């Protein structure tokens, strides 16, 4: 495939986020592979999908997992294994990637060490006030989205939306 002469990688910029959000708000999601071109992004469809799913979607809550959330993750991980998307469905405002990261970086170690010591969880005091963030503070609300951006019409690509 040589549909893209150059595909940017690495950290997304605010400008790229704005373009993607504005495009999806205006035209919706119709084809991840084609959308980046119309949105004026030098990104792969996969990269756009990942960015949207994990950070730009509305009602996403990131960081500062509450004690309840972490215990839920631990419990579900025992039940379901590493089915992060399944676990994420039980935590509506969390993404599978965020849950996976939290597990890999924190919870796994904690569970292992607790199992090793075979003592009740002494983690309660670790959590202080971690309930500060709200779903309202999702990423998109922090961006100044140009909702009237003049994107080319996706219909020119013979897509079949509705």
Partner DNA sequence: AAGCGGTGCAACCGCTTCTAT
Partner DNA sequence: CATAGAAGCGGTTGCACCGCT
Tokens of 36: 């980046």
By CB under 7 A, is residue 27 in contact with DNA? no
Q: Which is nearer to DNA, 53 or 152 (CB)?
A: 53
Which one of the spans 79-87, 111-119, 129-137, 140-148 is the region binding DNA (CB under 7 A)?
Answer: 79-87
Q: From the CB of 107, what's the least distance to DNA, in Å? A: 10
SS3 of 92-121: CCCCHHHHHHHHHHHHHHHHHHHHHHCCCC
By CB under 7 A, is residue 78 in contact with DNA? no
By CB under 7 A, is residue 113 in contact with DNA? no
By CB under 7 A, is residue 72 in contact with DNA? no
**Of positions 23, 36, 51, 60, contacts DNA by CB under 7 A:** 51
By CB under 7 A, is residue 62 in contact with DNA? yes
Q: Which is nearer to DNA, 72 or 101 (CB)?
A: 101
By CB under 7 A, is residue 123 in contact with DNA? no
The position carrying tokens 């893209």 is 4
CA distance 29 to 27: 7
Are residues 56 and 20 in contact, defined by beta-carbon separation less than 8 angstroms? yes
Q: Which is nearer to DNA, 62 or 90 (CB)?
A: 62
Secondary element (H or E) of residue 19: helix 14-27
By CB under 7 A, is residue 94 in contact with DNA? no
Tokens of 1: 């495939």
By CB under 7 A, is residue 55 in contact with DNA? yes
CA distance 21 to 139: 10
């Amino acid at each position: 495939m040589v549909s893209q002469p150059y595909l940017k990688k690495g950290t997304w910029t605010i400008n790229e986020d704005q373009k993607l959000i504005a495009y999806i708000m205006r035209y919706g999601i119709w084809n991840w592979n084609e959308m980046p071109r119309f949105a004026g992004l030098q990104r792969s469809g996969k990269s756009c999908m990942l960015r949207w799913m994990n950070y730009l979607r509305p009602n996403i809550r990131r960081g500062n997992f509450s004690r309840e959330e972490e215990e839920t993750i631990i419990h579900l991980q025992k039940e379901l294994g590493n089915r992060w998307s399944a676990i994420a469905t039980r935590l509506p405002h969390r993404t599978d990637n965020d849950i996976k990261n939290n597990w890999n970086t924190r919870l796994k170690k904690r569970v292992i060490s607790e199992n090793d010591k075979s003592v009740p969880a002494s983690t309660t005091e670790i959590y202080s006030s971690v309930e500060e963030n709200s779903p309202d503070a999702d990423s998109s609300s922090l961006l100044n989205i140009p909702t009237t951006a003049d994107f080319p019409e996706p219909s020119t690509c013979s897509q079949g939306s509705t």
